[in-house]
Structure 1
Amino acid sequence: MVYLTRVEHFNAAHKLYNPRWSTAQNEAVFGKCANENWHGHNYELYVTVKGEVNEDTGFLMDVKVLSDLVKTHVLDIVDHRNLNLDVPFLKDKMCSTENLAKGIWAQLAPHLPQGVRLHAIKLYETPRIYVEFFGE
């Protein structure tokens, strides 16, 4: 089994806010992240796929194809967007980094070539905070 990782970057704004709660409760739980004027992050996205090496090419998969899939199914949707308002796969969900990583998985997994599986989504919200999702 070989693992291949593509690293990408995107910028997006969001806020953490539960509409079922009062403003005071949101501020108590989410602090500055509940700011009504939003806040942004410079996200680092690591997409790791796994599978067997093709004997004819020596590749697990063509990295250009992986790059194009990430661009089409993730970056074009989230980059320079408001995650709460502009991203269909986050509609009616809390816009946490955890839910964003799960949504990215769902966006990519169905589009991988035969014999290639998604292994992990690692998403850095800041240089010191990241989420890993393994599809479980």
Structure 2
Amino acid sequence: MKAYFSRRYRISASHRLHSEALSPEENRAVFGKCNNPHGHGHNYKIEATVGGEVDANTGMVINMVTLDSVMKEQVLDRFDHKNLNDDPLFAEQVSTTENFCIAVYELLQKQLLPAILKNVRIEETENNFFEYSGK
């Protein structure tokens, strides 16, 4: 039987939406106030959903302690109270929440085996949220 388990985490991080491929005017036109040279911050909510067979001995898809540990090591410690633009993952790509969502997925995916990471969802504001389910 395949089942799914989702867990939510919270971090605060800042970023500046800016592309070196665009002129200053184009950056302002595309990213508006999010192109502020000093950046801006969000209180992100990050959800990870893991699926797989329910272990006959534990009754779980994945131990919540394992998921918490991997999330802390791979994501929370790395990004909480940091500027996303300072992370090497965003050295050559814009630190949009779409790209952040993909990065979180890729950081977690191999660390959770034998469970399978179904998707990552990041809520940036109460109106903006993003999901990624892999390629």
Per the TM superposition, whether the score is higher than 0.5 is yes
2:19 corresponding residue in structure 1: 18
Q: Which amino acid aligns with 1:37?
A: H
2:42 corresponding residue in structure 1: 41
Shift of 1:72: 0.3
State whether structure 2 residue 103 is matched by structure 1 residue 90.
no
> Equivalents in 1 of 2:67, 2:91: separation in Å?
26
Question: Is contact 1:74–1:104 with CA below 8 Å preserved after alignment?
Answer: yes
Question: Is contact 2:98–2:130 with CA below 8 Å preserved after alignment?
Answer: yes
Q: Secondary structure at the match of 1:76?
A: helix
Shift of 1:88: 2.4
1:56 corresponding residue in structure 2: 57
1:109 corresponding residue in structure 2: 109
Q: Which amino acid aligns with 1:7?
A: R
Question: Is contact 1:3–1:48 with CA below 8 Å preserved after alignment?
Answer: yes
> Equivalents in 2 of 1:88, 1:75: separation in Å?
16
1:133 corresponding residue in structure 2: 132
Q: Secondary structure at the match of 2:60?
A: coil
Q: Which amino acid aligns with 2:3?
A: V
Number of positions where the alignment pairs a residue of Structure 1 with one of Structure 2: 134
Shift of 1:23: 1.1
> Equivalents in 2 of 1:90, 1:66: separation in Å?
24
Return 5+ residue gaps in structure 2 as ranges.
Answer: none
TM-score where L is the length of structure 2: 0.96
1:99 corresponding residue in structure 2: 99
Q: Which amino acid aligns with 1:130?
A: F
> Equivalents in 1 of 2:32, 2:91: separation in Å?
22
> Equivalents in 2 of 1:52, 1:45: separation in Å?
23
Return 5+ residue gaps in structure 1 as ranges.
Answer: none
Percent sequence identity over aligned pairs:
35
